[in-house]
Chains A and B, each alone.
Chain A
């Protein structure tokens, strides 16, 4: 049974209920609204981003519902992204953050996790200057301040 989602720029998207319900927010809304088939407005998500989100949910429509993890890895890994997901995340940085924001708003935990792991993988292994370049960040420390911070914190690096 199809559900109609409406993006912030007023574009309609028809998706199967099963796909839409990968979003816990939408799932709860549908439960509240019952059998009505009025479209669901998503004022925080533009059409471009919603297209990507729906693509993810379609591909993962048959994944089992995630059981909350009783940690057997307390240290979360970021090197276990599936190949399809990795290709899916090869977008420009602005879209990457928009997808993360949308996944957070729509409560799609697996998509949020993949997005965050992607960002973590961008950060890992880089020097501070490389991180600034990667995210277009202005350095607002003086060289003395930065040296001081390096000194204060390098002790913790291998603790």
Chain B
């Protein structure tokens, strides 16, 4: 018996997961043992699209024969009708896409969801035909344990939204990116809009824990205030809301938080709303827990930062994203790095060498937890070799970092007066190996690094630095920045990186 056959099953599964479909197709023909072992891995992820190279009817026969092995399915229509009625007993994720209209696939999509009530994770991606009431009714009544719903583009036929809302109440995770999220009738008698006087189709959404809303209404009609149904999600933990230039929802969110509407909310992502630093600080201070805060390109500034510092849960912060927030300073960045021991992801506009090196500054508490860091390092005119070394030392301790972005390109999103204070050109850390501080050599401990960027920072790196990168960062898969001193053409440098499995961009 071959040694390969004697490996324990869990080890064989690790190997099978590493193989592409071509290799799996060869494996199932090798022997009976190989066939039994590798067949499930060949069929577990299937992507159906309408550009068939082989006879479509043969496909549906093969698919039906192996239906019990399929766990993840992507259907890109239009496809022949028989594909929509196959039932996959162990299907967990289903993604429905379609790029052409006509034909109207609504009825076929109803058949598809009816045939597969065991699906947990459903994605509707840019389907031109609108799901009907019947579609959502199947999910509401026939699906066994729905878990997540992800809709990009059309949600439902106008005027047929009750079943949609009732279907939503069955999910734990909901993400809607659409320009036609239907009105949610609130039953308030004094409301001016007739549709809002109907009884709500759902009193409470008892399962929703994660909610992502990205609503781009077309035209200038009345915009429904979604807080009216979001407040009916008592188990909400994570809320991501693209507010598209409106301020009032933020104030309403703060009011609801004051009423303890969401007792376990810990994570907020708000983009593009017209809120103020004070509005945001109200939100931060009222969050019952703190885990993820994503407020890039917002007015997050001194007031919000003060609320963060004063929050009893600041030390449990896992993610803070304040990119291109003009009010977020380097000393705030230093404070976060010093005081958040489980911080995993941090994106801030800049940090100054002075912030790290000055009298009274503490070592970063998150050196072992931090995996994603995006920040521009500014040296400033008074930095010394010693103070720059302190910054290098601190960065060099990030033993688990996988994504490090020190690029300067986002600085242009900051207002001029902030930018000019950073004296952008001349003064970031030099990565050159022969420079006073040793440059890249300080990063020898970043052994898990996969993505490194020094985009648009003035460096003059050459082949020495290229070889250093290739020798030391063995898990690197992407590098962004200019190597201006290599003496070889860009295409050759590109090839050199590609040969080592690294994609290279300037």
Contact = CB atoms under 8 A, between A and B. Distances in A.
Given A80-B474, A120-B15, A153 B4 contact: no
A64 B17 contact: no
Given A125-B23, A132-B30, A119 B15 contact: yes
A72 interface: yes
Nearest to B43: A156
A69 to B, nearest CB: 9
B4 A97 contact: yes
A156 B42 contact: yes
Interface residues of B, number: 53
A131 interface: yes
Contact of A141 (B10, B31, B48): B31
Interface in A116-152: 116-117, 119-120, 123-128, 131-132, 135-141, 146, 149-150, 152
Nearest to B52: A155
A158 interface: yes
A97 B1 CA distance: 13
B8 interface: yes
A154 interface: yes
Contacts of A119: 4, 15
Contacts, number: 130
B15 A153 contact: no
B88 to A, nearest CB: 14
B66 A137 contact: no
Contact of A100 (B11, B22, B25, B402): B11
B2 A136 contact: yes
Contacts of A139: 30-31
A15 interface: no
Interface string B310-325: 0000000000000000
B501 A80 contact: yes
Contacts of A112: 11, 14
Interface residues of A, number: 49
A156 B27 contact: no
B385 interface: no
B462 to A, nearest CB: 22
A87 interface: no
A10 B31 CA distance: 38
A37 to B, nearest CB: 30
A153 B3 contact: no
Interface in B54-71: 54, 58-59, 62-63, 65-66
B11 A155 contact: no
Contacts of A158: 21, 53
B14 A153 contact: no
Q: Which of A72, A78, A153 has the most C-beta atoms of chain B within 10 angstroms of its own C-beta?
A: A153
B269 to A, nearest CB: 17
A140 B371 contact: no
Contacts of A156: 21, 25, 42-43, 46, 62, 66
B35 A67 contact: no
Contact of B62 (A78, A116, A155): A155
A104 B2 CA distance: 18
Interface of B: 2-4, 6-8, 10-11, 14-15, 17-23, 25-32, 34-35, 39, 42-43, 46-48, 53-54, 58-59, 62-63, 65-66, 368, 371, 399-400, 402, 447-448, 450, 474-475, 477, 501
Task: Sort A-B residue pairs by CB-CB distance and give the 5 closest, nearest first.
Answer: A120-B18, A97-B3, A128-B29, A64-B399, A155-B62
Interface of A: 63-64, 67, 72, 76-80, 82-83, 93-94, 97, 100-101, 104, 112-113, 116-117, 119-120, 123-128, 131-132, 135-141, 146, 149-150, 152-159
21 contacts: A64-B447, A64-B448, A67-B371, A76-B18, A78-B18, A80-B501, A101-B6, A101-B8, A120-B19, A124-B19, A124-B23, A126-B23, A128-B29, A135-B2, A137-B31, A137-B34, A150-B29, A153-B29, A156-B43, A158-B21, A159-B46
